[in-house]
């Protein structure tokens, strides 16, 4: 695990994916960015462009998503970071019913340093990130192309294998 010491605490770099396809997705993602940055145990280093994306999975006819990614530094443990992100999802009125169904806000931990974790609550790296252009295209805005994605390859290597059709830059 690569960590840096800053003011006595251990800071770990992590990447988080943001998604929304209900109730003004631009507003949902913009306020989520502000709320993540307000956490005293998080430093938001960079955020990506916003992308309009065709839904992958879930019920037929759900609206397109708006997706983004952030690079941050945090002193929170992975479960504490998940709790903080889920509290933000809940404040945005997130209701969990249909798997991969429409949502006001989804915040997923993609990578946490070079940690590999597989528990009932948390899988890191995110188990489906390597096959999803709606995750990797925004991630590439905030992460180097040589970033390793578990044992799946580098970010640029994986992007070269995926169709990015249906992932288009969106100005909010």
Could you say which of ligand A4P, Mg ion, none residue 55 binds, taking C-beta under 5 to 8 angstroms by partner kind?
ligand A4P
Please name the helix (run of DSSP H) or strand (run of DSSP E) that holds residue 171, with its range, or none. none
Share in percent of the chain as helix, strand, coil (round to 5): 30, 30, 40
Residue 129 and residue 148 in contact, taking contact as beta carbons nearer than 8 Å: no
User: Measured from the CB atom, is 118 or 171 closer to Mg ion?
Assistant: 118
Q: Does 108 bind Mg ion (CB under 5 A)?
A: yes
Interaction partner, residue 41 (ligand A4P, Mg ion, none; CB < 5-8 Å by kind): none
- For residue 122, the partner it binds in Mg ion, ligand A4P, none, with Cβ less than 5 to 8 A by kind, is ligand A4P
112, 129 contact by CB (below 8 A): no
89 binds Mg ion (CB under 5 A): no
Q: Catalytic residue positions? A: 94, 103, 106, 108
In the complex, which residues of this chain contact ligand A4P (CB under 6 A)? 19, 53-58, 65, 67, 82, 96, 99-100, 106, 108-109, 121-124, 126, 128, 134
Count the Cβ atoms, other than its own, within 10 Å of residue 38: 10
State how far the Cα of 162 lies from the Cα of 33, in Å rounded to an integer: 27
Determine the size of the site formed for Mg ion (CB under 5 A).
Answer: 2
């Amino acid at each position: 695990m690569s960590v840096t010491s800053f003011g006595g605490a251990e800071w770990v770099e992590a990447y988080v994916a943001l998604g929304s396809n209900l109730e003004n997705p631009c507003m949902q993602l913009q306020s989520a960015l502000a709320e993540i940055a307000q956490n005293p145990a998080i430093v938001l280093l960079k955020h990506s462009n916003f992308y309009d994306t065709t839904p992958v999975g879930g019920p037929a006819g759900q609206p397109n998503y708006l997706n983004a990614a952030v690079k941050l530094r945090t002193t929170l443990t992975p479960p504490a970071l998940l709790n903080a992100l889920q509290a933000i999802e809940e404040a945005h009125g997130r209701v969990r019913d249909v798997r991969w169904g429409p949502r006001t806000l989804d915040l997923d931990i993609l990578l946490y340093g070079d940690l590999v974790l597989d528990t009932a609550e948390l899988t890191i790296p995110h188990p489906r990130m390597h096959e999803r252009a709606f995750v990797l295209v925004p991630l590439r805005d905030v992460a180097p192309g040589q970033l390793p994605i578990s044992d799946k390859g580098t970010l640029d290597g994986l992007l070269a294998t995926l169709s990015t059709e249906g992932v288009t830059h969106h100005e909010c």
